[in-house]
Amino acid sequence: MFNYEIKKQSYSVALQQAKQLLLQNDMQNGLYYINRAIQLNFELSSNCIIPEIRSSLIAEGQKLQDIASKVSAGQNPFLRNYGVPAQQAPQSPSMPQNTQGAENKPIKEQSSANKVQDGNELAFFKKESPSVTLEDIAGLDEVKKQIRLNVIAPIKNPELFYAYKEEAGCQILMYGPPGCGKSFVAEAIAGELQCAYAIVNASDILDKYVGEAPKKITKLFEESKQFDNCLIFFDELDALFASRESSDSSHTKDVLTTFLTCLSGFSASKNKDSVRVIIGATNRPWILDSALIRGKRFDTHIYVGLPDEKARTFMVKRAFRKHGALLENTDITVEDLVEMFDGYSGADLTSLIDKMKSLALSRAIENSAQGITEISPITKEDALTVLKGFRNSITKESLEMFESFAKGEI
């Protein structure tokens, strides 16, 4: 049976791996993953029943074909100069990008530990900590409350914390619908702690060569030992650590075993002013191997759900911060949009607003051709038109599954 979600996830991993390898000018392995992505793209587009998504996949497949042709001809479209010999290419590892667009600042009192002992650059940890903090997160008050209790308290109020608990540090499983800000929450925690920060995706660990993935896990934890305060964030945890009884996990069993071994040695240092945190994020917590959520392993579960009214209000106002005229002299208000967007993820909300702006822009272009220069605001009709043609990425069934997981039913 064709499993669209699993194929989509494999496609994403192949794309990320290809980009990372080509940025390092590893043409041979980069081409391998591009061809793998092309194959998965074809399978996805052939089995997709939604015309818009199918068209998008076909267009992506054509771009991948062009990239594959260039790489086969010795050209690397990810570098400024094509055909640079591999030995001359930059060898520094590709660091995950800060998707929130916030400025970064140096890690407090840890700049001297930016290199491992043998002098090589860090492979996983970022050299700068994020500038965003929990105060930058709209809504999610219960999530922030749990984080302040389990993560922030040992640093901000150590005497009170250690009056109740013996050691700091925790292992958090953040789960919930996609596009609701789990990655941003992890980034905000690192910014709050001003600690060393590593973002780990499945593509950073998985490797086509047998035995390489467990080595990367070991290297990650070895790097973490250089820091008293550190946070490791595993995105798409299910892509790495699906249940060993699941067909999804055929390539991850050795990785999981190594991870569990390293996890047992990941604890706070003797310095009570330090804290070491691991956060795993997943959209499918029910397929994780049970060993991951047993005992003290990922024992703090935090549900990051759909944005509440407060969060939606913040996001709508932010979206129109530079385009306030689009909501002036019209029949729709911020409050109306906030109500209309109830039940959508943060990512969907952003997409909906962008589509509404596009409708208004199209109308403004038509008006301009007729000599009308006034701004064409967004209307209620625009909002209803976009909502009518928009496929909500969050289904009722998926929300029910998250609820069942929280109750321990699955």
How far is 218 from 262, CA to CA, in rounded Å?
Answer: 7
The pLDDT assigned to 97 comes to: 34
Task: Give the SS3 label for residue 171.
Answer: strand
Domain span including residue 82: 4-87
Residues 6+ apart with CB under 8 A from 230: 125, 195, 196, 197, 198, 224, 276, 277
68 compared with 107, residue with greater pLDDT: 68
pLDDT digits (tens, 9 = 90+) for 174-229: 999 988 889 888 899 888 888 889 989 888 888 777 788 889 999 999 998 888 78
pLDDT at 33 over 90: no
Mean pLDDT, residues 324-334 taken together? 93
- Tell whether 201 and 280 lie within a shared domain: yes
In a 10 Å sphere around its CB, with 0-12 CB exposed, 13-18 middle and 19+ buried, how is residue 185 labelled? buried
Left if phi > 0, otherwise alpha if psi is -120 to 50, otherwise beta: which for 314?
Answer: alpha
Cβ atoms 319, 192 nearer than 8 A: no
Q: How many CA atoms lie within 13 A of 320 on its CB side?
A: 22
Structural domain contains residue 162 = yes
> How far is the C-alpha of 59 from the C-alpha of 70, rounded, in Å?
17
pLDDT beyond 70 at 90: no
Read off the CATH number of the domain in which 296 is found. Answer: 3.40.50.300
Pair (57, 201) in one structural domain = no
183 and 38 housed in the same domain: no
pLDDT of residue 408: 83
Q: Does residue 216 share a domain with residue 258?
A: yes
User: Are 211 and 326 in the same domain?
Assistant: no
Instruction: Give the pLDDT mean for 31-58.
Output: 80
Asked whether the whole model's pTM tops 0.85, one would answer no
Residues 286 and 158 in one domain: yes
Residue 101 falls inside a structural domain: no
Which of 37, 55, 87 is where one domain is finished?
87
Q: Is residue 117 part of a domain?
A: yes
Contact status, residue 206 vs residue 17, Cβ threshold 8 Å: yes
Q: Is residue 326 part of a domain?
A: yes
Q: What are phi and psi of 65, to 5 degrees?
A: -60, -40
**Does residue 32 sit within a domain?**
yes
Cα–Cα dist 229/144, whole Å: 19
Show the tokens assigned to 64.
């991948």
Residues 316 and 297 in one domain: no
Q: Pick the residue with more confidence: 355 or 212?
A: 355
- What are the pLDDT digits (tens) for 301-316? 889 999 999 999 999 9
Report the 10 Å Cβ neighbour count for 70: 17
Q: In the chain, what is the straight-line distance between the N-terminal and C-terminal CA atoms, in Å?
A: 22
Residue with tokens 């929990």: 134
pLDDT given at position 268 = 56
Looking at the structure of the chain, the number of domains it has is 3
390, two tokens: 């928009």
CA geometry: angle at 395 spanning 389 and 398, to 5°?
Answer: 160
pLDDT, residue 339, reads: 96
